[in-house]
Amino acid sequence: MAALIAYKCSHISNAVRRNYLTLLLVRRCTTAQKEKKGIVLGIFETDNDVDGIAFTPSAENFNQRTSGKLSELLHLSGQTLKKGKSRLFYGIDKEYTSVAVVGLGKQSAGVNELEEINESKENIRTAAAVGARQLRDIGIKDIEIDPSTDAQAAGEGASLGLFAYDELKQESKRKPHVNLSLHGNQDSLDQWQKGILLGDCQNFARKLMEMPANKLTPVEFANQVVSKMTDLDHVQTTIRNKQWIEEKKMFSFLSVAQGSNQPPVFLEIQYSGCSNKDSPPLVLVGKGVTFDCGGISIKPAAQMDMMRGDMGGAAVVVAALLAIATLKIPINVVCLTPLCENLINGEAVKPGDVVTAMNGKSIQVDNTDAEGRLLLADALHYGCTSFHPTAIINAATLTGAMAVALGSAATGVFTNSRKLWTNLYMAGIETGDRLWRMPLFEHYTKQITDSQLADLNNIGKAARDGGACTAAAFLKEFVTCSHWAHLDIAGVMTNKDEVPYIGKGMSGRPTRTLVEYASRIADDIC
């Protein structure tokens, strides 16, 4: 068939030839697509091959299986495929109705020091996502993915690329469920399954972030997480109520919750993965504001609906613990998520009010929309003093200033530990979910300790200038651990087109980076 098409098109332009080729093959196979499988194959760019491409091992085997049809069709359709770009072919194999071929870039890409990512892994994640989405969108429900030399990265990309939060739509408008499987050599099946798991856990964070606030109250957030953790070994979940929070004197946290009729919740999850139960844990803390209108310092109406994702820090840390426990990484982990809404009623905290945190420090609340740091203040103090962790990491959609500083390229990290930073940084390179270190200078601490009525001011006298830095300086006042990192994820909360394998919507970043970090330190502390 391909040879016949090539003969018929020999006298016309390449563009017309490509369109004619596609049209004939689409007509031939449209009726069978819903019943057959699809496959995603990768090809590398090369300067040596006569066609400018080189097949992955799986793609080469497929090409031989089809007696060279794949290479012939690629040649007819225009040869070179840039990374992330794809072409669909139909009817060249009896088992696979549709074939998505995706460019992987240079095979020797490796770590890009300027971009600070493992470019080869990122290209594979993107290729798997692009190919899987294209096949799903033409009705293919069983898709095999070429491991493309890294089965874990392929699994991550495929899982993340197919995520869609559409369960509240009519069934006819939802994306179809797709069965994913590894194509080719099953020796890398374990890595493939790990990649799928990591993608699925990040997708759990994305689902929580996408859920409307009327569907995901603080209590419902806790219930969803507990349900997800039920069948995991060595995991204990505890939902703390308002009375417990009051007994712990977490009045900074409670000051945010008092403007809502929804009761606050302090969710505590412990995973004992280390054989030595006394090994100091890694403590993960997540900001859990299930909706943030800003309180009396109310936000602008435009895009306020996105504040359903202001519990992104909590979603990320529980998703990371879910992955850590499922993978049975040998480490002890404690996850703490203070959960509430920041709304307005007759009881809401007012600008100028003074509240007292668990550690005894008084706080002048001059901006009720700087509420995330008030939750985290009590949670960080509780985490440090109750668990004496080897490290404590908090994640929060904390400041618009971080989005201004870094955009969506990387998570901003403030830390008092070079060792902690180095491990986090290397984890980000591996996962492609980058981190960038920000300053914790005394310059910023002076701004939040200069308060007229209390020990601290929740926004600092400079207000707008260095807002992400003064927020971090505020948190530092409640940390007694020598290894602490604050991850401001406001800039990476959503994804437009920045990370092609994630797609549009809530991102769940940097879930996989936290899991990779835990894997890196496990041997040293367990």
H-assigned helices in 95-175? 119-137, 151-161
d(CA 275, CA 272): 8
d(CA 149, CA 109): 12
Catalytic, 299? Answer yes
Smallest Cα–Cα separation from 209: which of 506, 429, 498? 506
Catalytic residue among 373, 434, 476, 512: 373
CA distances from 141 to 124, 175, 208, 228, 503 (A): 21, 10, 25, 26, 19
Smallest Cα–Cα separation from 397: which of 307, 496, 504? 307
Catalytic residue among 299, 361, 446, 520: 299
Catalytic, 34? Answer no
DSSP state of 83: B
Structure tokens at 472: 């971090």
CA 85 vs. chain centroid, Å, equals: 23
Cis peptide before 212 (omega within 30 of 0): no
Asked if residues 164 and 506 have their Cβ atoms less than 8 Å apart, the reply is no
Residue with tokens 């936000």: 299
Query: 295 in the Ramachandran plot: left (φ > 0), alpha (ψ -120 to 50) or beta?
Result: left
**Active-site residue set:** 299, 373
